[in-house]
């Protein structure tokens, strides 16, 4: 959020931040970054092929590393010029409406939560490969490639558990978007028609179903606000994400045991990204490859990495900084009530 009355183009710190972005995206734009990530990490890709892909992209990854750090530093400088913030993390959390003590509290909960999630995880077929630096530990993909009838499967599970959903359903529309063309998961409220539209990837797998449940949570919140004469922007992002994540967890909790475990496993990846961002924005003067490896080691008990440079391929960290932190904190808060 920008201080009111500050024209964007005249803010020198914002200009510097824009420049840091430009340099990064001139080296590789989001499309290219997505291609490289898929080329190395594509699910079910044989391991030798991953090594080959890594060799092919090694130079680019090395190029992106200092450019990524530049963006982090420029974001911090920008935040410091906006007031009392020490870094971009503090700036981002405050502007999203998150009380500062919630971060410290979530970090305290984290290790015991991770241990409890681990109790629910399915066992990977090949632990060595599954937890290698060359794979993204994806328990859902490991367990099932089942396709679902969506959105019906999600609606059916949520309808019985969220009583107000039924009456709102006629005002919620569902649309598919193409991930490979830059489409992302979202729910959008249109005040003219008083409807919410949910856009999710067309894959119809369990991951897609979880995203859909999350977006149903956003939609119910939008429609509830509208009923009270309010708009989405009247509530902070923290509140919105809370509504969405609560619905997402209602769905996850309704799944058969193994699938539920795999779905909870997905949250570990978000904790990893969150820890990485917390560490790097708080102290950019360290080896980011090491910080990323340590974040993985903390979230997955069978991961033992020394260095991991692949944060440069995480589109979310680049285009939506600290959103993993916000979501990670909410997941920690909500899971600490659910997981006993
Ligand atoms: Zn959301």
pLDDT at 178: 82
Q: Are residues 265 and 134 in the same domain?
A: yes
Q: Are residues 12 and 130 in the same domain?
A: yes
pLDDT at 9: 54
pLDDT tens digits for range 191-201: 999 999 999 98
What the block records as the tokens of 125 is 């077929």
- Contact indicator for 328, 274 with CB cutoff of 8 Å: yes
Q: Helix 288-299 and helix 257-282: axis angle, to 10°?
A: 150
Span from the CA of 305 to the centroid of ligand 1 (angstroms): 30
Q: Are residues 323 and 248 in the same domain?
A: no
Span from the CA of 237 to the centroid of ligand 1 (angstroms): 9
Neighbours of 258 (CB within 10 A): 14
pLDDT at 66: 97
Instruction: Select from 229, 253, 277 the last residue of a domain.
Output: 253
Dihedral angle sign, alpha carbons of residues 281, 282, 287, 293: negative
What the block records as the tokens of 116 is 């409890």
Span from the CA of 9 to the centroid of ligand 1 (angstroms): 29
Helix (H/G/I), strand (E/B), else coil: 176: strand
Helix (H) or strand (E) holding 288: helix 288-299
Query: Which domain covers residue 17, as residue numbers?
Result: 8-138+261-338
Provide the domain count of the chain.
2
pLDDT at 5: 39
Alpha-carbon span 197 to 187, nearest angstrom = 5
Regions in the chain scoring below 70 on pLDDT: 1-10, 182
Span from the CA of 96 to the centroid of ligand 1 (angstroms): 12
Q: Are residues 129 and 208 in the same domain?
A: no
Span from the CA of 129 to the centroid of ligand 1 (angstroms): 31
Span from the CA of 215 to the centroid of ligand 1 (angstroms): 6
What the block records as the tokens of 255 is 């799944």
Q: What mean pLDDT value characterizes the chain?
A: 92
Q: Are residues 166 and 239 in the same domain?
A: yes
């Amino acid at each position: 959020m920008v201080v009111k009355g500050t024209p964007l183009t005249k803010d020198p710190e914002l200009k510097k931040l824009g420049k840091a972005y430009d340099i990064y995206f001139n080296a590789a734009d989001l499309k290219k970054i997505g291609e490289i990530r898929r080329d190395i990490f594509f699910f079910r890709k044989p391991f030798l092929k991953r090594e080959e892909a890594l060799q092919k992209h090694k130079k680019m990854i090395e190029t992106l590393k200092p450019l990524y750090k530049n963006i982090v530093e420029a974001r911090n400088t920008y935040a410091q010029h906006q007031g009392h913030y020490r870094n971009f993390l503090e700036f981002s959390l405050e502007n999203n409406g998150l009380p500062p003590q919630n971060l410290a509290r979530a970090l305290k909960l984290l290790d015991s939560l991770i241990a409890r999630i681990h109790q629910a995880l399915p066992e990977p077929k090949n632990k060595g490969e599954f937890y290698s630096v060359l794979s993204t530990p994806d328990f859902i993909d490991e367990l099932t490639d089942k396709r679902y009838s969506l959105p019906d499967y999600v609606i059916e599970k949520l309808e019985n558990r969220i009583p107000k959903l039924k009456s709102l359903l006629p005002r919620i529309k569902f649309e598919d978007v193409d991930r490979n063309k830059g489409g992302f998961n979202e729910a959008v409220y249109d005040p003219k028609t008083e409807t919410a539209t949910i856009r999710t990837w067309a894959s119809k797998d369990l991951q897609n179903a979880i995203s859909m449940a999350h977006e149903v949570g956003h939609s119910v919140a939008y429609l509830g606000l509208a009923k009270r004469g309010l708009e989405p922007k009247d509530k902070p992002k923290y509140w919105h994400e809370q509504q969405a994540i609560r619905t997402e967890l209602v769905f996850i909790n309704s799944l058969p045991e193994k699938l539920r475990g795999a779905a909870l496993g997905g949250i570990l990846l978000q904790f990893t990204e969150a820890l990485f961002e917390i560490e790097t924005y708080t102290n950019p003067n360290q080896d980011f490859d090491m910080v990323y490896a340590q974040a993985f080691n903390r979230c997955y008990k069978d991961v033992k990495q020394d260095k991991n440079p692949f944060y440069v391929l995480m589109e979310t960290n680049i285009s939506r900084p600290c959103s993993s932190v916000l979501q990670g904190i909410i997941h920690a808060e909500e899971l600490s009530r659910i997981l006993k």
